[in-house]
Amino acid sequence: MMLAAILPLLLAGTPATGPAPHLTPAEARMATTIDAEYERSVALLGRLVNQNSGTMNLPGVTRIGAMMAEELRALGFTVSWKPLPQTGRAGHIIAVHAGKPGTRRLLLIGHLDTVFEADSPFQRFVRRGDEASGPGAGDDKGGMVVMLAALRAMQAAGTLKPANIEVVLTGDEEDSGDPVTLARADLIAAGKRADVALDFEALAIEDGRDMGSIARRSVNDWSLTVTGRSGHSSRIFSETFGDGAVNEVARILAAFRTTLPEPNLTFNTGLLAAGVTAAIDAGGSKASAQGKSNIIPAQAIATGDFRTLSEEQTRRVRAKMEAIVAAHAPGTSATITFKSGYPAMAPSAGNQALLARLNTINRDLGLAEMPALDPLKRGAGDISWVAADVDGLVGLGTASRGDHTPDEVVDLTTIRRQGKRAAILMSRLSAERR
């Protein structure tokens, strides 16, 4: 049967919305393999979801790592497990496929852990036709299944053998270990070796359209400590006692709200306590305070985060916050400290070129073009750690809704079209000279 005649069958489950499909014989083989192995992929997703791997369930994350290692070894990867007890986390999978020398090196990124710990009541994979619910079904076990489906399709078509691919599956994406520099050292090193990074976190869909992601924002935590002079409330605002800690923390937070806003920036105060004494626990999630209505508060503490689209924006926002804090009201003092979380992945020209390459594949598959997603609509992710060194794309995993909630539901049909996109993109990129 001629290739043109079989293409409609190959693309079952991915209705054509663009020009007529145009695939090479090897790419057609990849498409047919992904369709043929769809139920295998769904079954694997079920097994992964049914093994709890909340970030702090270290044995569970390790078991998911072993399951993924088995799948990758079957595809010819040399797989290692990097334990990270120094960071309080389970560890990472690092898998390498050595291909033809001199061709582009790809880095594939995903994560083994979920936000649902071993004591969560949300534990099981439940399929309902073309959808399934379960902890991590979309974030990111669905993404890892797409990755494997694409690699198996490449193997069947003969395009995996010459490909130079490194896979890093972190065990603590949802709650990074500390120090984060150690927790992400292997990923950062892999990014320096790579020519392209592809992140298999969830596919974003907006108004019914698949979206391409070429940027992710940073996460930066801040902690504000304010002190004032305590005394009888009748003396508030006097030269002797000044404004008190509560009024000063209110001034600072109000100034953040009016002074900081700019494009692509969000900032938030997540926890606040004030009184004669005030404290936030070591875990950063509980606050305590003591005081009375007739006593000027001496202490206030607040914590929050801010998110930016570039490291330059991060530096600018920090400087603004420090200047606001430094303008003390009478009788008060205040300090602000920062803790960097995830860096920013700026929407670079290289990232935009990769999305253009993906849209060429969409046309060849008869799929609609994928516009670039507004980065305000995505959270931070592991690809940001390599964004300074390598061009990348995000969102090659499954589409899902309700992520990080007990209503997490994955669209199983997206395994097919995402697997085809990824397999063809990786095959084309890996065949090119460096």
pLDDT for the residue numbered 21: 66
- Contact between 371 and 209 under an 8 Å Cβ cutoff? The reply is yes
First-residue to last-residue Cα distance in the chain = 37
Residues 370 and 213: their CA atoms lie apart, in Å, by: 9
Query: In order of start, what are the domains of the chain with their CATH numbers?
Result: 3-216+344-430 (3.40.630.10), 220-340 (3.30.70.360)
pLDDT for the residue numbered 341: 85
pLDDT for the residue numbered 355: 98
Strand 209-211, strand 204-206: pairing? antiparallel
- Contact between 417 and 13 under an 8 Å Cβ cutoff? The reply is yes
Strand 78-84, strand 89-97: pairing? antiparallel
Which pairs from 117-121 meet CB under 8 Å and 24+ separation?
117/52, 117/54, 117/55, 117/56, 117/57, 118/52, 118/54, 118/57, 118/60, 120/52, 120/54, 120/406, 121/406
Strand partners, 166: 96, 107
Question: φ and ψ at 177, to 5 degrees?
Answer: -70, 170
Write down how long the chain is: 434
For the whole model, what pTM was predicted? 0.88
pLDDT for the residue numbered 13: 44
Q: Whose CA is closest to 376, among 267, 303, 221?
A: 267
pLDDT for the residue numbered 22: 87
Strand partners, 221: 305, 339
Question: φ and ψ at 294, to 5 degrees?
Answer: -105, 20
Residues 359 and 353: their CA atoms lie apart, in Å, by: 10
Instruction: Please give the average pLDDT of every successive group of 10 residues along the chain, which has 434 residues.
Output: 39 43 92 98 98 98 98 98 97 98 98 96 97 97 98 98 98 93 96 98 96 95 97 96 97 98 96 96 91 97 96 96 97 95 93 98 96 90 95 97 95 98 98 95
Cis bond leading into 179, ω under 30°? yes
Amino acid code (one letter) for 292? K
- Contact between 227 and 296 under an 8 Å Cβ cutoff? The reply is no
